């Protein structure tokens, strides 16, 4: 946590950080996606994005195929970072081309409507096996959309091996 001292009262957005004012000391709070929210996919393929996530994503976002059977949701800025990373992959490698195709072929730029919903393309609804009950999960720098059934199965499996996973990632977390 970073602290600033100043006599002014303000709240400034700095990328994915917010400077919150106090009396004389200000702290910088990193904004991130976290939490789990249940929402229903309506008959037209619209899904409410939680208000806390919409604050970070903005009025437009990119939704694409995720890993493990979910959809990923990115802010425009985060998506641009991903595109820049994809441009660095060698197109002479088959795996690179396949990964680029999987990341971009069904990716969709979507707008948030006045009710806080996004219209999911039918190809992405099929890709993630979304029916009615959906779970929207915050994952640090993006969020994911899961079918309730897939999320429960995934979470149960990950929970069963949580300690083992944590131990195997210790070198990355220090």
Q: Let me know whether 43 and 122 are in one domain.
A: yes
Q: Let me know whether 80 and 119 are in one domain.
A: yes
Structure confidence at residue 30 (pLDDT)? 54
CATH of the domain at 65: 3.40.1550.20
Domain count, the chain: 2
Q: What is the pTM of this model?
A: 0.80
Structure confidence at residue 19 (pLDDT)? 43
Q: Let me know whether 20 and 56 are in one domain.
A: no
Structure confidence at residue 173 (pLDDT)? 74
Q: Let me know whether 22 and 107 are in one domain.
A: no
pLDDT along the chain (174 residues), means of 10: 38 42 48 90 96 93 96 96 96 96 96 96 97 95 96 94 89 76
Q: Let me know whether 70 and 26 are in one domain.
A: no
Q: Let me know whether 97 and 66 are in one domain.
A: yes
Q: Let me know whether 13 and 89 are in one domain.
A: no
Parallel/antiparallel/unpaired status of strands 25-30 and 3-5: antiparallel
Q: Let me know whether 13 and 66 are in one domain.
A: no
Q: Let me know whether 21 and 48 are in one domain.
A: no
Domain membership of residue 8 as a residue range: 1-31
> HEC string of the chain?
CCEEECCCCCEEEECCEEEECCCCEEEEEECCECCEEEEECCCCCEEECCHHHHHHHCCEEEEEECCCCCEEEEEHHHHHHHHHHHHCCCCCCHHHHHHHHHHHCCCEEEECCCCCEEECCHHHHHHCCCCCEEEEEEEECEEEEEEHHHHHHHHHHHHHCHHHHHHHCHHHHC
Q: What phi, psi does 17 have (nearest 5°)?
A: -130, 150
Q: Let me know whether 97 and 12 are in one domain.
A: no
Q: Let me know whether 71 and 138 are in one domain.
A: yes
């Amino acid at each position: 946590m970073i602290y600033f001292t100043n006599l002014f009262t303000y709240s400034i957005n700095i990328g994915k950080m917010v400077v919150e004012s106090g009396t004389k000391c200000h702290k910088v709070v990193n904004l991130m996606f976290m939490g789990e929210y249940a929402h229903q996919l309506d008959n037209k393929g619209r899904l409410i994005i939680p208000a806390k996530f919409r604050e970070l994503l903005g009025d437009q976002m990119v939704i694409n195929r995720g890993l493990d059977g979910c959809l990923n949701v990115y802010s425009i800025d985060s998506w641009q970072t991903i595109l820049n990373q994809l441009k660095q992959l060698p197109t002479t490698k088959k795996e690179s081309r396949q990964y680029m195709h999987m990341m971009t072929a069904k990716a969709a730029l979507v707008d948030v409507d006045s009710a806080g919903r996004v219209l999911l393309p039918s190809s992405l609804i099929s890709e993630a096996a979304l029916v009615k009950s959906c779970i929207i999960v915050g994952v640090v720098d993006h969020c994911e959309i899961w079918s309730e059934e897939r999320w429960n199965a995934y979470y149960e499996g990950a929970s069963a091996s949580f300690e083992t996973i944590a131990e195997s990632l210790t070198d990355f977390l220090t």
